[in-house]
Amino acid sequence: MNSVLATNQNPGKVFLVGAGPGDVELLTMKAARLIRAAGAIVHDHLVSREILALARPEAELVFVGKKGGGFCCPQRDIEGTLIRLAHEGKNVVRLKGGDPFIFGRGGEEAEALATAGIAFEIVPGVTSALAAAAYAGIPLTHRAHSSAVVFLTGHEDPNKPDTAIRWEDYGRIGATLCLYMGMKNLETITRRLQAGGLVAETPAAVIQSATTGEHRQLVTTVGRIAIESEHAGFGAPAIVVIGEVAGLADKLGWFAARAETLAS
């Protein structure tokens, strides 16, 4: 499929684009090119102002994100907006924090576009767990500590009758666990992981607003991360990393160390 933005095409094309974790310099070259050329940008709350500033002055900016615990726009309405803008002949960038296909509902939107007969492309972005861990100094894999990584969501569809994640099972697989959107349910999640066999002293870290000027991180243990992060005022957006590799952040946490040096 041709990735060059078309002009005067009716309907237009939709690009589901990952904006990365926040730092504009972690945006891919392709994403930046598409943002600069788009006729309309449909974006989430976590897309930074610096990234949106790349858009043309005449581009239509449509905010459909989630802020303050409530949804600004239902998912079905977001999909309808993408289809409507494409039918208006606009080339549309659907801009999502992180990667569109990792807990970004990109799959749902791609399905809706395919059903509507709208041409689309997927443009991957640096997903939040990779970026948060890298900036915190946590290698998600390490020959001495972990040979597997699992991405999990701590916030599932509220319409599900029960969680689809058997947390107890993940407590005994020996992999690095990366939790997206897990702060609200962190006490329950860590308790269930321990019930499955994960040792309470296993290193764990929470990284908030990774790669940005508001970056914060806390390294502790599975048994204490829920209470300590609450007392320290950590909240969304945040990634939780659980596993032996999290303990390396104290030695390899280059970004926090650089911030301390600049502040001194």
- Please list the active-site residues: 44, 66, 181
Q: Of 191, 180, 175, nearest to 225 (Cα)?
A: 191
Q: Of 174, 200, 15, nearest to 91 (Cα)?
A: 15
**27, 51 in Cβ contact below 8 A?**
yes
Amino acid identity for residue 184 in this structure: K
**151, 103 in Cβ contact below 8 A?**
yes
Q: What span, in angstroms and rounded, lies between the C-alpha atoms of 112 and 117?
A: 9
Q: Within 10 Å of residue 165's Cβ, how many Cβ atoms?
A: 14
Q: DSSP string of 160-215?
A: SSS-S--HHHHTTS--EEEEES-STTHHHHHHHHHHTT--TTSEEEEEESTTSTT-
Phi, psi of 90 (to 5 degrees): -90, 145
Phi, psi of 195 (to 5 degrees): -65, -30
DSSP run (H or E) holding 120? strand 120-123
